[in-house]
Every structure is written in C-alpha cells, then in structure tokens.
C-alpha cells in the first residue's frame, strides 16, 4: 500500500519509494528510508499528508505520498 492510503493515528514502516531522483534524495536526507517508522497524523481532502517520522512532523503532497510504499506497523 502507499502512504496516501494511510489512516490517521496508525503507524507504518517504509518499504520502498518510487519517486523522481531529486525528491527521493531529499526525503532520504530527512531520514525517510527503508525501515523508517512513521505515524500518520492527518490527511487533508486535497491529498496533503501530515506524518511524523524520527520525531519530526512532515507534510507532503498527494503525488509524493503515492510514491512511498509502506506496510502496517505496531504502535
């Protein structure tokens, strides 16, 4: 499943990313790599996703969240 399908309040683990190189490298620099745990905080109607990863809150658009593949993790 992709991060865009995530439900607020649940925790997920990053499996892979399929993004353009520039965006992918930026997210890696922020610590969003394979095995990173993240918690979805909010999902807006326009597709914007707010999540917490490694103690930092991040907001990304729908296109980026559709390129991040995750699996469900335990809280």
- pLDDT for 73 equals 83
Angstrom distances, CA of residue 57 to CA of 50, 52, 64 = 7, 4, 16
* Residue 54 neighbours by CB under 8 Å, 6+ apart: 31, 36
What's this model's pTM, rounded to 2 decimal places? 0.89
User: Helix, strand or coil for residue 69?
Assistant: strand
Would you say how long the chain is, in residues?
Answer: 75
Report the C-alpha gap between 47 and 29 in whole angstroms: 23
* CATH code linked to domain 3-72: 2.30.30.90
Parallel, antiparallel or unpaired: strands 11-17 and 56-60: unpaired
Q: Where are the domains of the chain?
A: 3-72
- Tens-of-pLDDT digits for all 75 residues of the chain? 999 999 999 999 999 999 999 999 999 999 999 999 999 999 998 889 999 999 999 999 999 999 999 999 865
- pLDDT for 74 equals 63
């Amino acid at each position: 499943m992709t991060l865009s399908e995530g439900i607020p309040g649940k925790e997920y683990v990053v499996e892979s990313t399929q993004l353009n190189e520039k965006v992918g490298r930026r997210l890696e620099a922020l610590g969003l790599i394979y095995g990173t745990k993240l918690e979805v905080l909010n999902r807006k109607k326009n597709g914007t996703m707010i999540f917490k990863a490694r103690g930092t809150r991040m907001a990304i658009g729908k296109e980026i969240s559709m390129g991040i593949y995750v699996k469900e993790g335990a809280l």
